[in-house]
Amino acid sequence: MSKTMFKFYANCILVKGANRSTICDLQRNKFHFIPNSIIRLMQGDMIDSTTILKKLDEEDKILFDEYIEYLLERELIFECEAELIEHFPTLSMEWDFPSHVSNAIFDAENELHFFNQSLMDQLEILCCNYFQIRFYKKTTKVEIQRILQLLMPSQIKAIDLIIAADDENDNFEAWLIDLVNKNRKIRCLTIHSAEKNEKLQGENFGFGTILKVKEVVQNTSHCGAIHHSYFSINIESFTESQHYNTCLNRKISIDSEGNIKNCPSMAKSYGNIKDTKLIEVVSNPDFQKVWHIKKDEITKCKDCEFRHICTDCRAYIENPEDKFSAPIKCGYDPYTCEWEEWSTNPLKQKAIEYYGMQELVKSEE
């Protein structure tokens, strides 16, 4: 091979795991695996093939050349002349976002009583433009209408809605489709406890997805699953994960009883929305502590090649006593590179019991 110096494109970033590594292609939103033995030959994001080839025996040379070919073909690396190396800087890992709170979760049984103009005003002060509402039980058309009336004229840009299926409610599904298409702030509506899994409508410029799922979402314990289909491979999440928790950073939530928390699944409440202002809670350094727990500090995750594309969960963790322990709902083992079913892992039974998730685990089986 005549070409000598290769460099990774700045948006194709190596993440080294215990047993293998990933190249996270943040521009094209995919990841590729790469053996650690190849990574060891590189210097950071540079591959000096002339020097490397000198050190390898014939068999390894072929293997190495094949890898270079693979990386070139996928446009993960490019040939870089020596004089240009310093002109291709690495991607800045800065993360910033123009909101004090960037996302919120509001939980309800049948009605979201605390959702009113005062709450909307508080969200505006926090520059919060996005939230999710989860109804665990059947709600009414009137209640959904009431929420939308407050939300449509506000600064809110997008919401996600999770509601329970309701066969007794006349024409509920048709009514919902019409509603989603008329109110262009609903990004995704999920109807749980449905008779089957079905996509009623796909997205249209980022809005208007409607899904039906069989899963019964009856309380907070459905949340926090870790799965490779949930990985988010883009600059925003990747950079955020370098500094912050990828689930809880700048998140606030109110559970169905009005308790203000980091997330509805967590035990600690920072006051009730009846008599506490969101901004007081958000400015509390105690409340912000979990925002800063990052993957590089979490047991197991810190050795995982997916750590900067994986969303975290801090509510359900393997050892509830240790705030740095790994999400319990992750079945991945970065030391063996195998995915297994998390809920049947004998080592996790104690924690599953602790969270009272036995029922959920059974229903998922």
Partner 1 sequence: MAVGHNFKYMIYINSSFNDNSTDCVQDWIYFLSKQNIIRANDFQQITSFTYKINNQNEEVNFNTESNQISTEVIKSYWYRRGGISFNNIKNESIYPRLGVFANKYIEREFKFISKVLENCLKNKLKGINIENDNYTNKIENLSIAKKVKLSIPDSIICTDWSELIEFCLIHRNIISKPIIFGSFEFPNSSTEQIFISSGVIKLDHSELMEIKSKCENSSFSPSLFQVYIEKKFELRIFYLNGQCYSMAIFSQSNVKTKIDFRNYDYERPNRCVPYQLPKEIEQKINAFMHAADLNCGSLDMIYSTDNQYVFLEVNPIGQYQWLTNNCNYFIDRLIAQTLTQ
- In order of 68, 291, 355, the CA distances from 326 in angstroms are 35, 15, 15
Residue 244 vs 316, nearer CB to ligand SF4: 316
Q: Write out the E strands in the chain.
A: 5-8, 12-16, 20-25, 30-35, 46-48, 77-79, 103-108, 130-135, 158-164, 186-192, 198-201, 209-212, 251-254, 260-261, 332-333, 338-339
Q: Is 354 in the site for partner 1 (CB under 8 A)?
A: no
Report d(CA 165, CA 196) in Å as an integer: 11
In the complex, the smallest distance separating the C-beta of residue 20 from partner 1, rounded to whole angstroms, is 22
From 9-17, 107-115, 195-203, 299-307, give the range in contact with partner 1 by CB under 8 A. Answer: 9-17
In the complex, the smallest distance separating the C-beta of residue 89 from partner 1, rounded to whole angstroms, is 5
One symbol per residue from 222 to 261: x for binding partner 1 (CB under 8 A), - otherwise; what is it? -------------x---x----------------------
Report d(CA 9, CA 157) in Å as an integer: 33
Give the CA dihedral 30, 35, 37, 43, nearest 10 degrees. 0
Which listed residue (3, 62, 75, 359) binds partner 1 by CB under 8 A?
Answer: 75
| Cα atoms in the Cβ-side hemisphere of radius 13 Å centred on 56 | 18
Q: How many residues bind ligand SF4 (CB under 6 A)?
A: 23
In the complex, the smallest distance separating the C-beta of residue 234 from partner 1, rounded to whole angstroms, is 9
- The item of ligand SF4, partner 1, none sharing an interface with residue 118, based on CB under 5 to 8 Å by kind, is none
From 24-32, 50-58, 113-121, 220-228, give the range in contact with ligand SF4 by CB under 6 A. Answer: 220-228
Residue 126 vs 148, nearer CB to partner 1: 126
Token output for 152? 């449509």
The answer to whether 310 touches 284, Cβ cutoff 8 Å, is: no
Which listed residue (58, 96, 170, 286) binds partner 1 by CB under 8 A?
Answer: 96
Residue 6 vs 31, nearer CB to ligand SF4: 31
- The item of partner 1, ligand SF4, none sharing an interface with residue 86, based on CB under 5 to 8 Å by kind, is partner 1
Report d(CA 147, CA 151) in Å as an integer: 6
Number of neighbours of residue 345 by Cβ within 10 angstroms: 15
Q: Is 2 in the site for partner 1 (CB under 8 A)?
A: no
